[in-house]
């Protein structure tokens, strides 16, 4: 006690029954004390519970992910806090200086190419903050580079098992693995097309993050433990698949694992087996030239083909049918392989679906068959000489042709014995430009 204090106020402490769940209101008050050092050491402040929630969530909480930061070649970039000016993104250069990035972990993505490999294609070893391209790569006009920040983890709670901790380390998945307790609350990084079975007792309401950092397009599998499922795509499934550079954040509640919004796995599912015109092959894409791929390396593709064939029977060809219509996906040998469509030199066309426009497909029973191919053809038609309905036509007698010189019929037709020569190119086509036929895996 301070020796200069002669009187103190003694406040009674009431023993209260625990408040029922949910009865706490934002207007309730709590206290927080400045531990010092400094002029305010020992000062205690009253905070509403809503204010305390902001402190817990924003300062002590699990992790904060900052918004992406964009840089466009030759255009002013975001504001550099050190200078107050827009960041310079030099065309033909390879380095972007931005103090906002100093000390922050992030990944770099180039639009149209995908995530760049750190230490191989780019690095952030820029004094004062920034990034630079490696090798002979340079920034080109209007190229869009996106910085994706990694979660910023609180340094207040240091205990690895504290609920406030978002990630307690990195766990590489380099083989088929059964999750154990030492993998809880870690970022699971698949280095290839492996399987991971989740643990049934993984802490509830704690994020389980996973991503794929693989040099190839092999898909990784996450499997729910026995008696549990993953809520996905409007139902409950036993497993989900991740492609190259994709991620998923899962949270368990009871026997169900839920996928958090923002997981890029959903994009991979959305575009799987779809055709994308392009000029550069991106992650989880191949050029569709009729090659064979393995089911074990692309299980998400097989799952999509099974659902496609259920919706449109016959749209995925059998091993005997595929050689006759190579524009369709094929079930390969029926056990271990998949046949990729051969789309070289073809135009896409929408299904007829009862419109009666694509009559040849209707006649062949293919009006509801995605991927069915057609040979080139020219619609039946007549040729007019440009006046008075006088027609030039074959007579059916060798190479002779007849010309109706007098439609009234009073004069005989003129007859010529002239060779009929072909006219035109090698195919019938509109004005077009070529793109790579890319299919998404």
Q: What is the pLDDT of residues 321-333, one digit of tens each?
A: 999 989 999 999 9
CATH number belonging to domain 167-263: 2.60.120
**End-to-end CA gap in the chain:** 73
User: Could you tell me if 101 and 147 are in contact, meaning their C-beta atoms sit under 8 angstroms apart?
Assistant: yes
| Per-residue pLDDT, 193 | 94
- Asked if residue 409 lies in contact with residue 422, where contact means CB atoms within 8 angstroms, the answer is no
Integer Cα distance of 176 and 155 in angstroms: 33
Give residue 76's pLDDT: 94
Q: Averaged over 231-241, what is the pLDDT?
A: 94
Q: Per-residue confidence at 185, pLDDT binned at 50, 70, 90?
A: confident
* Radius of gyration of the chain measured on its C-alpha atoms: 34
State how far the Cα of 367 lies from the Cα of 349, in Å rounded to an integer.
11
pLDDT digits (tens, 9 = 90+) for 274-285: 999 999 999 999
Q: What is the pLDDT of residue 18?
A: 59
For the chain, the domains span: 69-150, 167-263, 272-382+431-441
Q: pLDDT tens, 61-115?
A: 555 667 899 999 999 999 999 999 999 999 999 999 999 999 888 999 999 999 9
SS (H, E, C) 77-122: CCECCCCCCECCCCCCCCEEECHHHCCCCEEEEECCCEECCECCCE
Kindly report which listed range (169-183, 232-246, 261-275, 371-385) carries the lowest average pLDDT score. Answer: 371-385
Contact 206, 163 (CB under 8 A): yes
Q: What percent of the chain has pLDDT over 70?
A: 78
Tokens at 434, concatenated: 């070529």
**Does residue 388 have a pLDDT over 60?**
no
70 three-class SS: strand
Across 219-233, 235-249, 340-354, 400-414, least confident range:
400-414
């Amino acid at each position: 006690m301070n020796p200069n204090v002669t009187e103190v106020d003694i406040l009674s402490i009431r023993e209260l029954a625990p408040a029922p769940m949910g009865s706490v209101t934002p207007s309730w008050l709590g206290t927080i004390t400045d531990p010092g050092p400094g002029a305010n050491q020992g000062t205690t402040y009253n905070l509403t519970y809503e204010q305390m929630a902001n402190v817990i969530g924003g300062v002590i909480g699990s992790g904060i992910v900052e918004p992406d930061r964009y840089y466009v070649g030759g255009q002013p970039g975001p504001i550099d806090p050190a200078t107050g000016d827009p960041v310079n993104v030099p065309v033909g250069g390879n380095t972007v200086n931005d103090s906002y990035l100093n000390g922050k972990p992030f990944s770099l993505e180039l639009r149209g190419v995908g995530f760049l490999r750190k230490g191989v294609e780019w690095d952030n070893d820029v004094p004062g903050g920034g990034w630079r391209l490696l090798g002979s790569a340079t920034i080109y006009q209007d190229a869009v580079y996106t910085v994706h920040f990694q979660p910023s983890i609180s340094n207040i709670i240091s205990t690895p098992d504290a609920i406030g901790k978002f990630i307690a380390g990195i766990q590489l998945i380099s083989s088929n693995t059964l999750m154990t307790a030492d993998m809880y609350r870690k970022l699971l990084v698949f280095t290839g097309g492996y399987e991971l079975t989740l643990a049934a007792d993984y802490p509830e309401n704690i994020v389980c993050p996973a991503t794929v950092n693989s040099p190839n397009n092999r898909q990784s599998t996450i499997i729910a433990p026995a008696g549990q499922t993953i809520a996905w795509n409007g139902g409950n499934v036993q497993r989900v698949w991740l492609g190259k550079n994709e991620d998923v954040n899962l949270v368990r509640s009871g026997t169900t694992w839920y996928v958090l919004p923002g997981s890029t796995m959903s994009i991979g599912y959305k575009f799987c087996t779809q055709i994308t015109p392009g000029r550069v092959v991106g992650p989880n894409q191949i050029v569709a030239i009729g090659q064979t791929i393995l089911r074990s390396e692309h299980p998400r593709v097989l799952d999509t083909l099974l659902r496609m064939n259920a919706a449109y029977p016959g749209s995925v060809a059998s091993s005997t049918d595929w050689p006759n219509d190579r524009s369709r996906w094929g079930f390969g040998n029926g056990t271990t392989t998949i046949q990729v469509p051969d789309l070289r030199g073809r135009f896409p066309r929408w299904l007829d679906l009862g419109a009666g426009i694509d009559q040849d497909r209707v006649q062949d029973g293919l009006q509801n068959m995605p991927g069915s191919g057609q040979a080139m053809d020219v619609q039946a038609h007549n040729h007019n000489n440009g006046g008075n309905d006088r027609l030039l036509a074959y007579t059916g007698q060798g190479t002779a042709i007849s010309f109706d010189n007098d439609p009234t019929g009073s004069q005989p037709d003129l007859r010529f014995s002239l060779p009929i020569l072909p006219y035109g190119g090698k195919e019938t086509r509109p004005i077009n430009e070529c793109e790579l036929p890319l299919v998404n895996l």
